Structures are given as C-alpha cells and as structure tokens.
Chains A and B, each alone.
Chain A
Amino acid sequence: GAVVSQHPSWVICKSGTSVKIECRSLDFQATTMFWYRQFPKQSLMLMATSNEGSKATYEQGVEKDKFLINHASLTLSTLTVTSAHPEDSSFYICSARDFSGIPINQPQHFGDGTRLSIL
C-alpha cells in the first residue's frame, strides 16, 4: 500500500520550454503533497507544500511563478517548471502524506522522482 506514482521519470527538453510533472497517490488520499528538488550528492530540499484545494506554500528562495503547483484533487498534484533553463536541471521528487492514524504514523511516501535535463 501507500504507493506514489510520479510521471515522467525522465525528461529532456530545450531551454525556454515548460515542463509538467505529475504526482499521484495510487491507493490512498493525500490531503498534502510535497515537492522536493535534489542536486547530485546533496540532500532533498523542500520546494513547496501543497494542500488540496488551496494555494501551495513555497519555501524561502523558491520562485512561485517559476514553479507552478496545482493540487486539484486528493490524489493528484502537478509541478510545472515554466520557461525552464539549464540551471533548473535537477531531480524532482514528490511525496504524499497518508492521513490515516495519528500524526507520527503519517509518514511521507515518495515517488521515484523525475530527472529533468534542460539543454
């Protein structure tokens, strides 16, 4: 149980294009989803917290107009990297929290990530 599917797993595109990444919770409802970015040999850095039906909360230093997040349903959140440039190349990972049980039993379940390469 608690499977999070992320699509696509790898995308290569030209500088200036926009890229959409999908994150789905397959067997549970996720009121909250999280988007992370991970550079090689570095830690996961939280970009934004997304609550279903409301605007995402972005971490300091993350441009909300650059990284558009939509969380329209309890099982789907999308991240759109607008006008992507080579410096946006990274590994983007989403996670979703299963809200069954007490808070400590609400671990985040992670997708397998999307490797984004901007040429």
Chain B
Amino acid sequence: QKEVEQDPGPLSVPEGAIVSLNCTYSNSAFQYFMWYRQYSRKGPELLMYTYSSGNKEDGRFTAQVDKSSKYISLFIRDSQPSDSATYLCANVESMEYGNKLVFGAGTILRVKS
C-alpha cells in the first residue's frame, strides 16, 4: 500500500465550479500536510500547508485535514482555467537526518472556459 494515495484523474470541471481534491494517507505519524501545484514541465509550487485537523483558508483555496480518518482535501472555489495543473498532496515524514516529503501521485485538474 502506498503511503499517500490520490485519484490521478483527470478531473474536468467548468470555469467557476468548486473543485474538491482528495488524498488519503496510511502513516499515523504524519503531522504536517501540504498541497503543491505543478504545471506541465515545471517544478511543484507550494500552495498550502497545515498541521492540525480542521480547515485552513487562503483566498480561493481551503485545505482540510481529518486525522481520525487520515483524509486530506483541497477545495478550490471559483475555479479558473489557470488552475489547470496537477495537484500533489504531500506529508512530512521525520527521518533521522531531517524531514522528507512523501508525495501522492497527483491529481490532474482541467478547468474548461
């Protein structure tokens, strides 16, 4: 079983729709959770990070964490064509030599105008 699972999509939505992207994880030791956005042929860019269960909002983006069910979500309101990208969830795993990111495979999002 992969440590972080994501539905690869693609997820196609019309412009203006609310998008829900989801991720499950298996390691209870994960404490920090992050969402990255990756455009084609580019490196990932950090969108949001959360530590505790609950919601965190930043503009059109809301990250939600439910540690009891090991489930994290990213909601995008008023989606735009420029939001079309691959969205990667990542958990932070503590190692002896420092922290490392464990990524899901990513969900491809396409927002149609």
Contact = CB atoms under 8 A, between A and B. Distances in A.
Report whether over half of chain B's contact residues are helix, strand or loop; otherwise say mixed.
Answer: strand
Contacts of B42: 112-113
B46 A107 contact: yes
Contact of A113 (B41, B46, B99, B102): B41
A110 B43 CA distance: 5
B63 to A, nearest CB: 13
B72 to A, nearest CB: 15
A1 B105 CA distance: 27
Given A104-B51, A112-B43, A113-B42, A44 B100 contact: no
Given A4-B43, A6-B43, A112-B42, A43 B97 contact: no
A19 B24 CA distance: 37
B46 to A, nearest CB: 5
Interface of A: 4, 6, 32, 34, 41-46, 49, 51, 57, 93, 95, 103-104, 107-113, 115
